[in-house]
A = this chain, B = another copy of it.
Amino acid sequence: MQSQVNRRSARPRPSSAVTLQQVAQDAGVSLATASRVLSDSDRNVTQELQERVLEAAARLRYVSNAPARALVQSTTSIVGLVVHDVNDAYYSAIAAGVMEVARDHKLLVMLAGTFHEPGLQVEYVARLRAQRARAVILAGSGFTGGSPALTQELDAFTAQGGRVAAVAHQGLAVDTIVPGNREGGRAVAEHLAGLGHTEIGVICGPLALVSVQDRLHGFLERAAELGVVVTEHHRVEADFTRDGGRAAAVRLFRRSPGITALFALNDAMALGALAALRDDLGRGVPSDVSVVGFDDLPVACDVTPALTTVRLPLEEIGRRALLLALGDATASPRTLDVPSRLVVRASTTPPPRVTG
C-alpha cells in the first residue's frame, strides 16, 4: 500500500552542461588528451591536437566541472572567510584584503557571516570542511577562553589537509594574526592622559571578545601606569555597534557626568557616542568631551570632528591572513604581529578648564 512513491521524480534539470567527453569528441581526440590540454598538467600534446582541443572547448564554451575535479584531486580552489557581520566596515576592509590575494592566486572566496552567533561559526567551518576548502580565515575576533567545539572542528579540518588562519583569536593551534590591540589601547591611554584627562569613560564591546579584552587591558594598564584610574564605574559594555555605542554613551554620562574623555573600543561605537553626545546629551566634542575610537575605518575622517582613533591596517590584515594560510604548512602554527598606530585628529583636546 505504501507503494505511493513520491512522484517528485522530476529531474532537477536537463543538466545540459558541456562535458570534457563532448569536447574530446568534437576535437576528435581521446578524453585523456583533452584533459591533458585543458587541465594544463604535463603538456605532452602535439601542437595540433592542442589547438583542436582548445578550439573545441572555446566553441562549446566548455568549463570543467569543478566538483568532479575536486573529487578526484581531493582539494579545491576555494577559501572560506568567516566574519561576524558582513555589513560591518571592519570586516569589509579585511575581506577586501582577502579578496585581493584570492584574485592573485585564482582562488574563490566563500563568505560566511555568523550574525554573531558562535554556533553558526562552527557550523560554517564544518560546511567549509565539507566543501574541501583549501583554507579558512577566521576574521572575527575569538572569545576569551576559546570554544571547544570550534577547536574540534578546526582540528578535523586541518586533519583533512585544510589550512586555517585566525585574526585576534587565542589558543587555537592555527596560524594567528595578532593585531596591535593592546598596544593601541596603551597609546590611547597615553594620549588622553597626556592631554590632561583624569576622568575617562570607556565604552566596551562584548567583554567576551579577545579584541575587546586586549584593547581594554592595554588601555587600563597604561592609564594606571600614568596615574589615571578608570574604575568599573566608568566603563560600560554594549554591542560592538553604532547603536551600542550610542546607548552606552548615554548610560555612562547619566552615571558619571564629570567625564571629560571617552574611549570607545571601536569606531562604530565611537560614531554612536558622537551621535549621543551631540543629539542626546548636548555636549560639544572636543570642547566638552574628547572622543577616541579604534580601527580607523574610512568614515573616521568624514565625521565632525574628525575622529582620533587607532589605525589598524585592516586590508593588510586580510592579505596577511590568507597569505599565512596559503604558506608553508610545516611551519604552522605561527603568530604574526600587526602593529597599530594612533592617529590624532580633531576629536581630542585637553579637558575643559574647570572653574573653581
Give bound CA distance, A16 to B108, whole Å.
23
Residues 286-322 of A, flagged 1 when their CB comes within 8 A of B and 0 if not, give: 0000000000001100111000000000010000000
Give bound CA distance, A76 to B108, whole Å.
15
Would A14 and B161 count as touching, CB distance under 8 A? Answer: yes
Would B67 and A131 count as touching, CB distance under 8 A? Answer: yes
Would A75 and B159 count as touching, CB distance under 8 A? Answer: no
Q: Which one of B87, B113, B129, B153 contacts A93 once the chains associate, using CB atoms below 8 Å?
A: B87
Interface residue A74 (Cβ < 8 Å from any Cβ of B): yes
Give bound CA distance, A298 to B68, whole Å.
43
Contact (A71, B68) CB under 8 Å given A96-B87, A156-B61, A303-B302: yes
Q: Which one of A15, A88, A303 has the highest number of Cβ atoms from chain B below 10 Å of its Cβ?
A: A15
Would B130 and A65 count as touching, CB distance under 8 A? Answer: yes
Would A315 and B108 count as touching, CB distance under 8 A? Answer: no
Would B67 and A71 count as touching, CB distance under 8 A? Answer: yes
Interface residue A48 (Cβ < 8 Å from any Cβ of B): no
Nearest Cβ in chain B — how far from A1, in angstroms?
Answer: 14
Interface residue A86 (Cβ < 8 Å from any Cβ of B): yes
13 further contact pairs, Cβ within 8 A, besides A15-B160, A63-B127, A271-B302: A13-B74, A16-B160, A61-B152, A66-B127, A67-B132, A68-B71, A86-B95, A87-B96, A87-B315, A99-B111, A109-B111, A110-B110, A302-B303
Give the B-binding residues of A (Cβ under 8 A): 6, 12-17, 42, 61, 63-71, 73-76, 78, 81, 85-89, 92-93, 95-96, 99-100, 103, 108-113, 115, 120, 126-127, 129-132, 152-153, 156, 159-161, 242, 271, 274-275, 298-299, 302-304, 315
